[in-house]
Chain A
Amino acid sequence: MALKTEFMALTIMTEMPMVLVDVQRGGPSTGLPTKVEQGDLLAAIFGTPGDAPKIVMAPSTIEDCFYSMITARKIAETFRTLVVVLSDANLATGQQAFPRPKFNEEWVGTPIDQSPVGKNKDAYDWDPKTGLSQRFIPGQPGGEYTLTGLAHTRKSKVAYEPGVNQEGCRARSLKLAAFQKTLKPPKVYGDPEGDLLIVGWGSTRGAIEEAVRNCREDGLKVSALHLRFLQPMASGIREILQRFKNVMTVEINYSDDMKDELIDEENRRYANLAWLLRARYLIDIDCWSNVHGQPIKPGAIEGMIHERLNHEVQS
């Protein structure tokens, strides 16, 4: 993804539909190139200089990878935007049997529109409410315009006037809000309230839910929440988080350990999703994460949950 940053920004600025698959591996730099990590979430959302709104989603299983690509392509074309699909080395190299997909005509992209465009149409006829605009494709007579990565007017003319860039940024940002309105709130795995909610994303879903199931059988009031869309996030997540005494994320990326001598609440660096949730929902969300370059096993999560909840009971 580091190498594709400028093209990501270009597709956002020009509003060209694009799906980018990032198979996350250990970082930074060449890091652990054959090992799993979930370290690119914040980079995917915020890693592009300037305001570069994009949609970020993460499949949780190999089956989900198949359908996520169809979904991502639909979203990219409908909202004329960049969709980043965060896979990881686990999903990319794993094997899993799943029910044979049944072909659906809706999977196939629509044919390229080559019909003539009416006179004096803008290359970006940004809808004031949704920021959406129609896209002219080479071959459409009357639609001729020049895509540019520079700030541009509705006619795609390079322009530096203050109002121009504000309008363009607003339109591109509103598209995310328009998309967000189509999302359903995620479902909680386990009871909708309790002592602890484990929030996860991507390939850790199976391990987290298995650990939560085992802990619930042991009588612990713990539930899990899996987020498929990370940017934007569906409405209703705050209400879910508020129904639990404690909320924490489990992720495969680095976060500071509070046991380290120099680490305190003022300087602690959180795991990727924990940062996001804390910023968005103003809830004190903890995290448990590591970068051993291995999938997190359900047993390890179980042990962590027991430790946390027993500690809660004692204190």
Chain B
Amino acid sequence: MFGLKNSCSILVDEEYKSMDDYQGGMSRWCPGCGDNGILSAVQRLCRDEQLPSEKTAFVSGIGCAARFPHYMATYGFHGLHGRALPTAQGIRIRRPDLHVFVNMGDGDCCSIGTAHWIHAVRMNLNMTAMLHDNNIYGLTKMQASPTTPQGMKTNTTPTGSALKALNPLTTTLGITNASFVAQVVEWIPELLYDVIRQAHHHKGFAFVRILQRCPHFMPTLWDGLLSHPDSLMMLQHEDGMHMSDALGKIYKNHETHDPSNIHRAREIAEREDVVPIGVLYRDENVPTYDELKRPARTPDIEQRRDLLETTFDRFGIFPGTSEVNIDGQA
């Protein structure tokens, strides 16, 4: 039928990857942990995009969120606390053929990894960075992180966290060369998927802050958002997050926001009365470091020889002669 051979369609079926094909080890996060929702959304993205698992790399630091690569059946790098981004950048620079995803916790990204975060935004390498933000160090059992709300009692702040929480959105939007900044919550799968998908398709460094539940250590953290849907301000635009009509009836606080408007994005990010959800900023015209610095070609062995010989010539000296050519002959 339609000139297709039967064998062709069977082959397509065999090669089609289901979500199960992207599942690595079984997740060992706590029951109800928001990381599970993020994992599902990402596996769904991999399936919908049919990403080749051998050409996809998940990179993480240390923490609960950092277990993420182990639960994917792709290549992964579970590295050092705070150093997920430089590792991912190294992979990206050397292997532009790979799809690179980064999973960081709020301790990972906003505390020990802050310098890497700033420079990763500025270098704007093509990758999707997810900040799993549960406002606490969960793996080490409840110490305050930079995004822990002021006044929160934790093991390291027994009388309440003294400082106001760091705002990862305003921070990222303030960094030179920011090209994609979004915020979403993990408990609305439709929006989580849509934002991560857009981040994946963005040309450049896509930063997605995902508000994440930690039922074990922060059981009431997001109660306000869960019981008052209007506290989430849904940013909608044809170039931004898309929301179904059905969902729009539950979350009624909508705002039309053009993601190309950085000034408005910064104003929205500053809001403390509501939590903005959606793509705050997107600019695909920001040059990516891989574009700027990628060699035009990979030299073959002959070209390497020529490059080396040229370098040797540059440093060469030829005793006893005043004028010489590159063969060393006067």
Residues of A within 8 A of B (CB): 6-7, 10, 97, 100-101, 103, 105, 108, 138-150, 157-158
Known A-B contacts A147-B77, A158-B70; the reply to A101 vs B312 at CB < 8 A is: yes
* Chain B, interface residues (CB within 8 Å), range: 20 to 34
Partner of A148, one of B54, B78, B304, B305: B78
Q: Of A101, A148, A150, which is in contact with the most chain B CB atoms at under 10 Å from its CB? A: A148
Task: Judge whether B25 and A157 touch: CB under 8 Å.
Answer: yes
Question: In the assembly, what is the distance between CA of A68 and CA of B209, in Å?
Answer: 45
Residues of B within 8 A of A (CB): 24-25, 52-55, 57-58, 62, 67, 69-70, 72-80, 83, 91, 95, 97-98, 301, 304-305, 308-309, 312, 316-317
Task: Judge whether A145 and B75 touch: CB under 8 Å.
Answer: yes
Task: Judge whether A103 and B77 touch: CB under 8 Å.
Answer: no
Question: In the assembly, what is the distance between CA of A141 and CA of B80, in Å?
Answer: 26
Partner of B24, one of A97, A139, A143, A146: A146
Known A-B contacts A101-B312, A108-B301, A157-B70; the reply to A143 vs B80 at CB < 8 A is: no
Task: Judge whether A6 and B80 touch: CB under 8 Å.
Answer: yes
Q: A-B pairs with CB below 8 Å: how many?
A: 71
Question: In the assembly, what is the distance between CA of A142 and CA of B91, in Å?
Answer: 19
Task: Judge whether A150 and B78 touch: CB under 8 Å.
Answer: yes
User: With a CB–CB cut-off of 8 A, which chain B residues contact A6?
Assistant: 80, 83
Task: Judge whether A103 and B57 touch: CB under 8 Å.
Answer: no
Task: Judge whether B80 and A146 touch: CB under 8 Å.
Answer: no
Task: Judge whether A149 and B301 touch: CB under 8 Å.
Answer: no
Task: Judge whether B309 and A139 touch: CB under 8 Å.
Answer: no
Task: Judge whether B76 and A140 touch: CB under 8 Å.
Answer: no
Closest to A97 in B: B317
User: With a CB–CB cut-off of 8 A, which chain A residues contact B309?
Assistant: 103
A163 to chain B, nearest CB (A): 19
Task: Judge whether A146 and B69 touch: CB under 8 Å.
Answer: yes
User: With a CB–CB cut-off of 8 A, which chain A residues contact B308?
Assistant: 103
Question: In the assembly, what is the distance between CA of A158 and CA of B78, in Å?
Answer: 10
User: With a CB–CB cut-off of 8 A, which chain B residues contact A139?
Assistant: 54-55, 95, 97-98
Partner of B301, one of A105, A157, A158: A105
A174 to chain B, nearest CB (A): 24
Closest to B309 in A: A103
A-B CB contact pairs (8 Å), 16 listed: A6-B80, A100-B312, A105-B301, A142-B54, A144-B73, A144-B75, A146-B24, A146-B58, A146-B69, A146-B72, A147-B76, A148-B70, A148-B79, A150-B78, A157-B25, A158-B67
Closest to B70 in A: A146
Question: In the assembly, what is the distance between CA of A144 and CA of B72, in Å?
Answer: 9
Task: Judge whether A146 and B54 touch: CB under 8 Å.
Answer: no
Closest to A150 in B: B78
User: With a CB–CB cut-off of 8 A, which chain A residues contact B79?
Assistant: 10, 147-149
Question: In the assembly, what is the distance between CA of A215 and CA of B55, in Å?
Answer: 63
A-B pairs with lowest CB-CB distance, top 6 = A146-B76, A148-B78, A138-B75, A141-B54, A146-B69, A147-B77
Question: In the assembly, what is the distance between CA of A142 and CA of B52, in Å?
Answer: 11
Question: In the assembly, what is the distance between CA of A6 and CA of B97, in Å?
Answer: 28
B62 to chain A, nearest CB (A): 8
Closest to B95 in A: A138
Task: Judge whether B54 and A149 touch: CB under 8 Å.
Answer: no
User: With a CB–CB cut-off of 8 A, which chain A residues contact B76?
Assistant: 144-147
Question: In the assembly, what is the distance between CA of A149 and CA of B308, in Å?
Answer: 36
Task: Judge whether A138 and B25 touch: CB under 8 Å.
Answer: no
Partner of B77, one of A105, A146, A150, A158: A146
